[in-house]
Structure 1
Amino acid sequence: MAVELNKPVADFQAAATSGQQVQLSALKGQQVVLYFYPKDSTPGCTTEGQGFRDQIEAFAKANTVIFGVSRDGLKSHENFKAKQCFPFELISDKDEALCQLFDVIKLKKLYGKEYMGVDRSTFLIDAKGVLRHEWRGVKVPGHVDAVLAAAQELAKA
């Protein structure tokens, strides 16, 4: 059962960097940004992560925590996070449980080959655990600003 706008997101638990287990229900009272990206240390994914990194204080002021999610393992995530100085955790979704919940696995094409991959997508969950915004098929330029504006607006509501 995939997520739906303006409906509560099913509770989940997932392994993340820094030895953390992220559990949605434990984050109640804070807004949560989950951004799904295809692969650690690739150009678009690096730029997107840097955007969230550079706006971390503004997100914090809007009572919003950020998590990056991809199918990469924790070792790859730890290296990516350290190299880019990300002040947020990266969730490893090797079994694709979160990818399925948020319906982000799509048919993609690269150099004429078709494969199933992560469609760059971002989700904003309110402080009560309800999905309030979703961005699918994200283009990186300007995206973090749009997510921040939505988080700030939601924090005021």
Structure 2
Amino acid sequence: MSAVELNKTVPDFTAPATGDKNISLSDFRGSNNVVIYFYPKDSTPGCTTEGGDFRDHHDAFEKADTVILGVSRDGIKSHENFKAKQSFPFDLLSDKDESLCKLFDVIKLKKMYGKESLGVERSTFIIDKEGVLRKEWRGVKVKGHVEEVLEAVQSL
């Protein structure tokens, strides 16, 4: 499957999610915009801040008919703990097989402490009610990002 492209329909996908359920993109078609944000790892400082910002703006996203979904390669148990500890009002999707990461092309070569490894590049995508990718941010810096995403959703 090729990677997603702006202004094109995103292929449907289904992934395991918190709350002991599977979530499909098609679940929201016709009723909600979807913000999918990819983050490197549960319970790390930047990821906790980013998730907290989405949590703190959750009501405004709901008013804009928008569902938030967080995605990382962590398992459901880790996601459940992270979600509970941070009181996230949205679901986290587990992408252990990296199928979503590959679909959205967010696996990148990263350098940390002089070592190179493949990891998730912090990225956010807005998919409209018809399933079309409308906006993307790659290599996201956390500060002020959620406000920018909210403005973009409100302008759809």
TM above 0.5, yes or no, is: yes
1:6 aligns with 2:7: yes
Runs of 4+, deviation exceeding 3 Å: none
Q: Deviations over 1:40-87 (max 9, x none)?
A: 000000000000000000000000000000000000000000000000
Cα distance in structure 1, aligned partners of 2:127 and 2:151: 14
Which residue is equivalent to 1:37?
39
Code of the residue aligned with 1:104 in structure 2: it is V
Cα distance in structure 2, aligned partners of 1:63 and 1:6: 19
Cα distance in structure 2, aligned partners of 1:20 and 1:64: 19
* Alpha-carbon distance, 1:20 to partner: 1.6
Cα distance in structure 2, aligned partners of 1:56 and 1:117: 27
Q: Determine which of 99, 103, 106 is the counterpart of 2:105.
A: 103
Cα distance in structure 2, aligned partners of 1:138 and 1:11: 24
Which residue is equivalent to 2:141?
139
- Taking only the aligned residue pairs, the percentage that are identical comes to 70
RMSD of aligned alpha carbons: 0.4
Secondary structure of 1:9's counterpart equals coil
Q: Name the count of aligned residue pairs.
A: 154
Alignment of 1:1-157 (within 5 A): 1-28=2-29, 29-154=31-156
* Structure 1: stretches of 5+ with no match in the other structure: none
Cα distance in structure 2, aligned partners of 1:54 and 1:124: 18
Cα distance in structure 2, aligned partners of 1:65 and 1:49: 14
Secondary structure of 2:155's counterpart equals helix
TM-score (ref. length: structure 2)? 0.98
* Alpha-carbon distance, 1:136 to partner: 0.2
Secondary structure of 1:4's counterpart equals coil
Cα distance in structure 2, aligned partners of 1:15 and 1:27: 16
Structure with greater helix percent: 1
* Alpha-carbon distance, 1:16 to partner: 0.4
* Structure 2: stretches of 5+ with no match in the other structure: none
TM-score (ref. length: structure 1)? 0.98
